[in-house]
Structure 1
Amino acid sequence: MPINIPKEMPAREILEKEKIFVMDEERAITQDIRPLNILILNLMPEKQKTEVHLLRLLGNTPLQVNVSFLHMETHESKNVSKSHLDQFYTTYSDVKDKYFDGMIITGAPIEHLQFEDVNYWEELKKIMEWTKTRVTSVMHICWGAQAALFYHYGIDKFKLSEKVFGIFPHQISDRTIKLVRGFDDHFPAPHSRYTSVHEDEILAHPELTLLSSGDAGPFIITSKDGKNIMITGHLEYETTTLNEEYQRDLEKGITIAPPENYFPNDDPSEKPVNSWRSHSHLLFSNWLNYYVYQQTPFDWK
């Protein structure tokens, strides 16, 4: 089934070339079904790339999904045009009286800051509080996951001695949980971050379940009521994303090692191979099916 996005959105052309079923509003309103309404708070600087990453995964399910994008009112984005934001994004003030079946809060390259020092932290707190009564289930990614663990459960992040950067193996701790249904016992996933959270704090928290961890630390964490899903890595990344980040850092003069377990023979001149794609699609389809579609009310009113 399709994802429903604005007809003029640049991501549409990319997704259609990949044969992903995309529908515009004109066609969607003729269908007598109840689509899922998903809100994406996009905190990443290169917003159009993140749009494609997430829409690709949301579009690979048997459910019709209406997708809306949210940006922060208290932060000025420097890597995307104002016209793009004006045309395709909305703000919290515009959606605060609405209900959404699911929401995604992305990562952001601001790990070096304490949460309270982030210039939009107060607005983000307001949004996370709002999700408690207005959203059925929220998926938080990377820094977004750390922000959720801190705000909702009082678990703070800590700085790593060096960046976790590359493709790392993970294990499933409880495969009876529906979010990881169909996952292999061991599976790879991308990570790109300078901070982490303590595994023992997650295990000790009565409201949380640690579903997966590995060499990169805790990876998939869920609240026991399914309201919040925290993913500390980037299963949504494309094959080339880590290389783009690596080249970007080199151009900035940052001393950084190549992503681990990413390039064949650990040679940055070779083309990387995607080893995590199937689990990316499984994660998003399981979330949409079990945590959103099967839990959300047909009529929020």
Structure 2
Amino acid sequence: MPINIPQQLPAREILEKENIFVMDVDRARRQDIRPLNILILNLMPEKEKTEAQLLRLLGNTPLQVNVSFLYTATYESRNVSKSHLQQFYTTFEEVKGRRIDGMIITGAPIELMEFEEVSYWEELTDIMDWAKTNVTSLLHICWGAQAALYHYFGIGKFELPKKCSGVFSHTVNEPTVKLMRGFDDLFYAPHSRYTDVEIEKIKGHNDLQLLAYSEEAGAFIIMSKDERHIMITGHLEYEAHTLSEEYARDLAKGLDIDMPKNYFPDNNPTKKPINKWRSHAHLLFSNWLNYYVYQETPYEWD
């Protein structure tokens, strides 16, 4: 949350130069506070795991957040019960008349397919087009980030020689951007995907800015210059054991898969992985909710 200080306090200028978010008394008096409405389009097959991962991060701020879950009507998930979807989820048809403060579009294990080949691609593009005027800020994760880069900005993906899986070091490229406030110059984050986007195309795009990247895993945090779209190519929301479970699943399928890099202690898959990214995951979601949802969304939508 911002700190509230008098407009003329000398420390204000010092703090602003250090990129500390301050709010003057007059602005604070004009603010009304209401719960934030967050919509999550959950495209992951194991929906309940993803729900817990995201809600853990959304719930660790002083802000009151109302969360709704959305699923695609044009594709029926085989890994979750119908009763779970009926009880806790809604469809786009049921929410498209609403205004939403923030929206998360998750990843999906379909990155080897062309976008247009995805059964719910048309529905997804309808949702993304609707979000342009009905959602204050959008957070896109992994395949959801690639879909946003393709649909909104015309940047496609390419297949990697081998799956990018592991925990990689990342460099903050734009430390003064609000989303990166509090981030260490170097930080860790998990990745798990078969495709990537060209980092030079992101750097050269007039409407995008690269906020963080990895020498090994490529572009990581990308934001549109109007600050309405945030694309995360990895999985800061993952728990410590998530990559281990994915690795075991891939081995059980007989896939020719490498062990996740920089993940198991001593590269020994029998040892318990250590979570080295939890604090930055909480920081990212806290910054998003505060600076791009709470501070930007209108108290009453017109």
CA deviation profile, 1:155-207 (whole Å, cap 9, x unmatched):
00000011100001100011000001000000110000000000110011111
Structure 2 residue aligned with 1:276: 277
Residue type matched to 1:217 in 2?
G
Structure 1 residue aligned with 2:112: 112
- Tell me by how many angstroms 1:262 deviates: 0.4
CA deviation profile, 1:86-116 (whole Å, cap 9, x unmatched):
0000000000010000000000000110000
Structure 2 residue aligned with 1:252: 253
The residue matched to 2:73 in structure 1 has which SS?
A: coil
What TM-score do the two structures reach when normalised by structure 2?
A: 0.89
In structure 2, C-alpha distance between the alignment counterparts of 1:191 and 1:80, rounded to whole Å: 24
CA deviation profile, 1:255-284 (whole Å, cap 9, x unmatched):
211110000001001010000000000000
Structure 2 residue aligned with 1:131: 131
Structure 1 residue aligned with 2:103: 103
1:132-211 equivalences in 2 (<5 Å) = 132-211=132-211
Structure 1 residue aligned with 2:52: 52
Residue type matched to 2:158 in 1?
F
The residue matched to 1:300 in structure 2 has which SS?
A: coil
In structure 2, C-alpha distance between the alignment counterparts of 1:188 and 1:266, rounded to whole Å: 17
Contact 2:33/2:299 (CA < 8 Å) preserved in 1?
no
Matched length:
271
Structure 2 residue aligned with 1:14: none
Moved more, 227-236 or 254-263: 254-263
- Tell me by how many angstroms 1:225 deviates: 1.1
In structure 2, C-alpha distance between the alignment counterparts of 1:56 and 1:226, rounded to whole Å: 24
Residue type matched to 2:222 in 1?
I
Structure 2 residue aligned with 1:61: 61
In structure 1, C-alpha distance between the alignment counterparts of 2:268 and 2:226, rounded to whole Å: 44
- Max radius of gyration: which structure? 2
Structure 2 residue aligned with 1:296: 297
For structure 2, which runs of at least 5 residues remain unmatched after alignment? 2-31
In structure 2, C-alpha distance between the alignment counterparts of 1:34 and 1:170, rounded to whole Å: 35
- Tell me by how many angstroms 1:209 deviates: 0.4
1:241 matched to 2:268:
no
The residue matched to 2:67 in structure 1 has which SS?
A: strand
Structure 2 residue aligned with 1:220: 221
Structure 1 residue aligned with 2:12: none
The residue matched to 1:85 in structure 2 has which SS?
A: helix
